[in-house]
């Protein structure tokens, strides 16, 4: 007689093997290794600490001619701020009269000539600065930084409509001359100002229509001339230098002024004392000759002038590079340690679908790195700004939205780097090789680009094609096409790609590495 | 009886302790490193990466047309030797990795216990490893720097850094270039020894390479971003990569924080310190 023994079944309920369980397992593995948690803490400290070092260690000294030596906050520049809170240049010669309510001004520009400083003798020589501007403007008042909209001819950049410092819309290209004059018109209707241009005064083309919200009923309208400080870009390895060589001047001739009929007054807006006698106007019949210097434009960060001593949010984030090294080590070890200890066999035995193991590890690594990046960047940016302000230092301003963008962007950058490090670790299966590769592809390109070890073009390319392109997520300041004379380079915090393009390049590399890792994991024995 | 023989044959300190059986140990280390495929790949990778980056950077060099006074050395401040050697910034990672794996690999696999059982004199083992790694690093560095020199010579004159513009085309025939290129070989060897020392101290490849590269790149960044100029200069005088790389300078030498040879000397001190630390850990701790 045979006894039928039922097959053994555990009394315990069968475990679920969903992705969440796998995720939970991987998270438990991660958080219980003390060395990795220490590594993450080091990452946060390195990321924030370097920026705080910058904010806390800043020292500057200056001395006005004949004045006492000063240091620290006393040397800080102060800029007029535009309507959006950004630092601006706002000094020009303005032939103006009041305008109340709606109205229109029309002029014809027949010539633009100018003077440039001469490097050798110090005298002026004839010539036009490429962004010398002359035209018509409707401006809130005569204060620096007040709202405006203007139609102008720029020496080498054709007709433009510009407003509130940041706005810039191109019209017809080409230089102005008596044989080739330009007609310009500005019309105010409520808060909306519309700019038109014409070659003959009869056929008009609209260049742009802008809304200056909150513009008072009484504004100033008139003719203006401005020509920026002459600068020379020097391309060197030890940083990119811009050398200022002094003021430039533009003289524009206007006629056919119509639409306004009051009395004209000439005035320097901004700081006329810097260059006395540079601005003037002369009226003969219907013909106005206006001469001016200065600029109506935003001041880009690191422009090489007064703002050089300003601290920047980019400097507070310099530790990202260090945090990435720590994250790279931890994320690579997260998988290579399993291979080294043979724990990977247990992992695969418990969860035979290897792709899902890789995915779970990637999620844990990415999430942890994101948190490290956000905490490190938030501490660096917020505390750095607070410390710099407390010490009386000027921080080149950014909006709260930009701060948030940069902090979350750093988190994303770190998260993708964490996933990439994990994928590389899964491919090479050796900790040291994985760490070295990750550092070479992410941290070293940033180092090379921001430490002036590479020539300019090469630095830009390095941050376009390597996974380090993700650093574009940290772009805090805007690059202005209408402001030349500074070099927009990684060294001064301008990255060659937009934030989404940089993220895309980095994600493409990471996706490729993940795909390679998944393929190899499937193919290879553990 | 046996004990007496053992203690007579294996003194625990002194010259005989270090040198006794040294050639055997050296031979063993040489065989271990030579028979690893990764050693050869790393050797080639170090040379290839260095030369590729150097050549790419040399080809990317442009004299900016707006610069004051044209493209002469006074206006650009460009240093042809230094440009030709840019790849060393990356090549050093591979050289360091080679050194890290020479020690860390043994700890990773447990081989170190076999090694120390076969050669109980630990200082002898370390000395043999130092010598073998120095040899490999020399070979890698000579290939890397030689290739970079060739790339610089061929590429730079076509990018404005020509003799006609007043530059010295890189060549070993003149003293400063010989210092820059020969010194770069020494630089890479010292980086390898620094990495060897650190790995012997921390005994884990991944952590060691992270530490070494952090020390090299991070220190340099910290030294350059500190806004306090005095502190920044002092840091630049002790940061191992910044000072070591000063050996590459052939232009503007007088404005460096240290002279080129002093700079390399500081790196040598770092390497010596790391090796001492490694030796102490190796001697005092269980493997």
Q: Do residue A329 and residue B96 have CB atoms under 8 angstroms apart?
A: no
Q: Calculate how close chain A gets to B200, using CA atoms only, in Å.
A: 14
Q: Calculate how close chain A gets to B66, using CA atoms only, in Å.
A: 6
* A159: contact with B, CB 8 A cutoff: no
Q: Calculate how close chain A gets to B210, using CA atoms only, in Å.
A: 6
Task: Look at the alpha carbons of A404, A406, A407, A408 in this order and tell me if their dihedral is positive or negative.
Answer: positive
pLDDT given for residue A413 in this prediction: 96
Residue B1 pLDDT more than 50?
no
Give the chain B residue nearest A237 (alpha carbons): B78
* A454: contact with B, CB 8 A cutoff: yes
User: What pTM was computed for the model?
Assistant: 0.83
pLDDT given for residue A482 in this prediction: 84
CB contacts, 8 Å: A235 with chain B: 62-64, 67, 76
Optimal mutation site among A33, A237, A441, interface B, most CBs of chain B within 10 A: A237
Candidate from B68, B78, B97 with C-beta closest to A436: B97
The mean pLDDT value for B158-177 works out to 80
* A435: contact with B, CB 8 A cutoff: yes
Could you tell me the residue ranges of all domains in chain A?
20-57+310-523, 88-298
* CATH class of this structure's domain A88-298: mainly beta
Question: Tens place of pLDDT for every residue, chain A, 526 residues?
Answer: 567 777 777 676 656 668 888 899 999 999 999 999 999 999 999 899 888 888 877 666 665 555 566 665 566 666 788 888 888 888 899 999 999 999 999 999 999 998 888 765 567 788 888 899 999 999 999 888 899 999 999 988 999 999 999 899 999 888 888 888 999 999 999 999 999 999 988 899 999 999 998 899 999 999 999 988 877 665 544 444 556 667 888 999 999 988 887 889 888 888 655 566 678 888 888 899 999 988 898 888 876 554 456 788 888 898 888 899 899 999 999 999 998 888 888 888 888 889 999 999 999 999 999 999 999 999 999 999 999 888 878 888 888 899 999 999 999 999 999 999 999 999 999 888 898 899 889 888 888 887 777 777 778 888 999 999 999 999 988 888 888 777 777 877 888 899 999 999 999 999 999 999 999 999 988 7
Q: Calculate how close chain B gets to A375, using CA atoms only, in Å.
A: 20
Alpha-carbon distance of A302 to A310, in angstroms, equals 8
Give the chain A residue nearest B208 (alpha carbons): A432
pLDDT given for residue B7 in this prediction: 46
Terminal-to-terminal C-alpha distance of chain A = 47
pLDDT bracket for residue B3 (50, 70, 90): very low
Q: Do residue B60 and residue A461 have CB atoms under 8 angstroms apart?
A: yes
- Chain A 363-422, residues with CB within 8 Å of chain B CB atoms: none
Optimal mutation site among A439, A450, A456, A461, interface B, most CBs of chain B within 10 A: A439
Q: Do residue A235 and residue B222 have CB atoms under 8 angstroms apart?
A: no
Q: Calculate how close chain A gets to B127, using CA atoms only, in Å.
A: 23
Quick one: DSSP state of residue A274?
Answer: G
Give the chain B residue nearest A36 (alpha carbons): B207
CB contacts, 8 Å: B63 with chain A: 235
CB contacts, 8 Å: A324 with chain B: none
Residue B10 pLDDT more than 60?
no
- The per-residue pLDDT for range B64-106, each reduced to its tens digit, is 544 455 677 766 667 888 888 989 999 999 999 999 998 888 8
CB contacts, 8 Å: B218 with chain A: 46, 321-322, 325
pLDDT given for residue A307 in this prediction: 46
**DSSP labels for chain B?**
-HHHHHHHHS-SSSHHHHHTTHHHHHHHHHHHHHT-HHHHHHHHHHHHHHHHHHHHHHHH----TTSTTTTSHHHH---HHHHHTTTHHHHHHHHHHHHHHHHHHHHHHTHHHHHHHH---HHHHHHHHHHHHHHHHHHHHHHHHHHHHHHHHHHGGGGT-SGGGTPPPP-TTSHHHHHHHHHHHHHHHHHHHHHHHHHHHH--HHHHHHHHHIIIIIHHHHHHH-S-HHHHHHHHHH-HHHHHHGGG--SSGGGSSS-HHHHHHHHHHHHHHHHHHHHHHHHHS--
Q: Do residue A458 and residue B60 have CB atoms under 8 angstroms apart?
A: yes
Least confident of A379-388, B12-21, B221-230, B264-273: B12-21
CB contacts, 8 Å: A234 with chain B: 64, 67-68, 75-76
Residue B125 pLDDT more than 50?
yes
pLDDT given for residue A189 in this prediction: 92
Optimal mutation site among A321, A337, A451, interface B, most CBs of chain B within 10 A: A451
Candidate from B57, B207, B224 with C-beta closest to A329: B207
Alpha-carbon distance of B11 to B124, in angstroms, equals 12
């Amino acid at each position: 007689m045979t006894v039928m023994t039922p097959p053994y079944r555990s009394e315990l309920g069968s475990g679920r093997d969903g992705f969440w369980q796998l995720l939970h397992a991987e998270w438990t593995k991660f958080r219980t290794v003390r060395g990795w948690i220490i590594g993450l803490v080091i990452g946060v400290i390195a990321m924030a600490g370097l920026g705080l070092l910058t904010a806390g260690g800043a020292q500057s000294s200056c001395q006005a001619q004949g004045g006492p030596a000063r240091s620290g906050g006393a040397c800080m520049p102060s800029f007029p701020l535009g309507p959006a809170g950004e630092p601006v240049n706002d000094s020009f010669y303005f032939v103006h009269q009041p305008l109340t309510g709606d109205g229109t001004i029309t002029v014809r520009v027949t010539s633009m000539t100018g003077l440039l400083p001469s490097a050798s003798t110090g005298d002026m020589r004839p010539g036009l600065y490429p962004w010398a501007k002359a035209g018509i403007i409707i401006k809130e008042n005569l204060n620096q930084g007040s709202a405006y909209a203007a139609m102008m001819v720029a020496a080498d950049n054709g007709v433009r409509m510009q407003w509130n410092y940041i706005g810039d819309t191109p019209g017809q290209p080409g230089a102005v001359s008596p044989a080739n004059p330009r007609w310009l018109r500005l019309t105010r209707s409520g808060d909306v100002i519309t700019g038109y241009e014409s070659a003959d005064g009869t056929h008009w083309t609209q260049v742009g229509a802008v809304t200056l919200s909150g513009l008072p009923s009484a504004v100033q309208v008139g003719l203006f001339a401005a020509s920026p400080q002459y600068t020379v870009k020097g391309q060197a390895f030890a940083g990119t230098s811009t050398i200022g060589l002094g003021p430039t001047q533009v003289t524009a001739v206007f006629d056919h002024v119509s639409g306004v009929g009051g009395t004209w007054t000439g005035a320097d807006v901004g700081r006329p004392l810097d260059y006395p006698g540079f601005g003037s106007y002369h009226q003969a019949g219907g013909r106005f000759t206006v001469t001016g210097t200065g600029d109506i434009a935003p001041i880009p960060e690191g422009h090489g002038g007064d703002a050089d001593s300003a601290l920047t949010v980019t400097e507070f984030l310099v530790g990202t590079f260090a945090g990435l090294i720590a994250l790279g080590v931890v994320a690579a070890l997260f998988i290579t340690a399993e291979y080294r200890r043979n724990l990977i066999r247990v992992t695969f035995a418990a969860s035979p679908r290897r792709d899902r193991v890789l995915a779970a590890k990637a999620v844990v690594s990415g999430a942890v790195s994101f948190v490290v990046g956000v905490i490190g960047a938030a501490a660096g940016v917020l505390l750095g700004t607070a410390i710099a302000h407390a010490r009386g230092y000027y921080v080149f301003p950014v909006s709260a939205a930009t701060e948030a963008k940069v902090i979350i962007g750093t988190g994303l950058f770190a998260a993708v780097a964490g996933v990439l490090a994990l994928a590389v670790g899964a491919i090479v299966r050796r900790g040291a090789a994985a760490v070295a590769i990750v550092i070479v592809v992410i941290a070293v390109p940033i180092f090379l680009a921001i430490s002036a070890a590479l020539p300019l073009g090469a630095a830009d390319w390095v941050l376009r094609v390597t996974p380090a392109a993700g650093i574009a997520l940290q772009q805090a300041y805007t690059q202005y096409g209408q402001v030349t004379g500074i070099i927009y380079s990684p060294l001064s915090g301008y990255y060659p790609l937009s934030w989404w393009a940089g993220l895309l390049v980095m994600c493409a590399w990471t996706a490729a590495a993940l795909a390679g890792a998944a393929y190899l994991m499937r193919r290879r024995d553990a | 009886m046996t004990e007496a023989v053992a203690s007579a044959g294996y003194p625990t300190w002194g010259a005989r302790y270090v040198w006794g059986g040294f050639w055997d140990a050296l031979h063993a280390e040489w065989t271990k490193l030579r028979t690893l495929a990764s050693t050869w790949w790393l050797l080639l990778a170090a040379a290839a990466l260095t030369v590729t980056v150097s050549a790419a950077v040399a080809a990317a060099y442009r004299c900016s047309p707006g610069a004051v006074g044209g493209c002469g050395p006074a206006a650009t401040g460009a240093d042809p030797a230094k440009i030709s050697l840019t790849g060393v910034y990356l090549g050093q990672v591979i050289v360091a990795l080679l050194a890290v794996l020479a020690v860390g690999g043994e700890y990773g696999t447990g081989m170190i216990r076999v090694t120390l059982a076969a050669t109980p004199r630990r200082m002898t083992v370390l000395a043999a490893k130092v010598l073998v790694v120095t040899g490999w690093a020399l070979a890698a560095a000579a290939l890397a720097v030689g290739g970079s020199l060739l790339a610089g010579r061929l590429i730079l004159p076509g990018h404005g850094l020509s003799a006609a513009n007043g530059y010295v085309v890189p060549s070993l025939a003149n003293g400063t270039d010989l210092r820059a290129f020969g010194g770069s070989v020494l630089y890479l060897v010292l980086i390898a020894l620094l990495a060897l020392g650190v790995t012997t101290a921390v005994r884990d490849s991944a952590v060691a390479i992270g530490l070494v590269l952090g020390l090299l790149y991070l220190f340099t960044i910290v030294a350059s971003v500190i806004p306090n100029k005095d502190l920044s200069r002092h840091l630049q005088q002790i940061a191992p990569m910044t000072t070591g790389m000063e050996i590459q300078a052939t232009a503007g030498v007088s404005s460096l924080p240290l002279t080129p040879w002093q700079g390399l000397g500081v790196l040598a001190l770092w390497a010596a310190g790391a090796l001492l630390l490694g030796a102490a850990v190796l001697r005092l701790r269980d493997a």
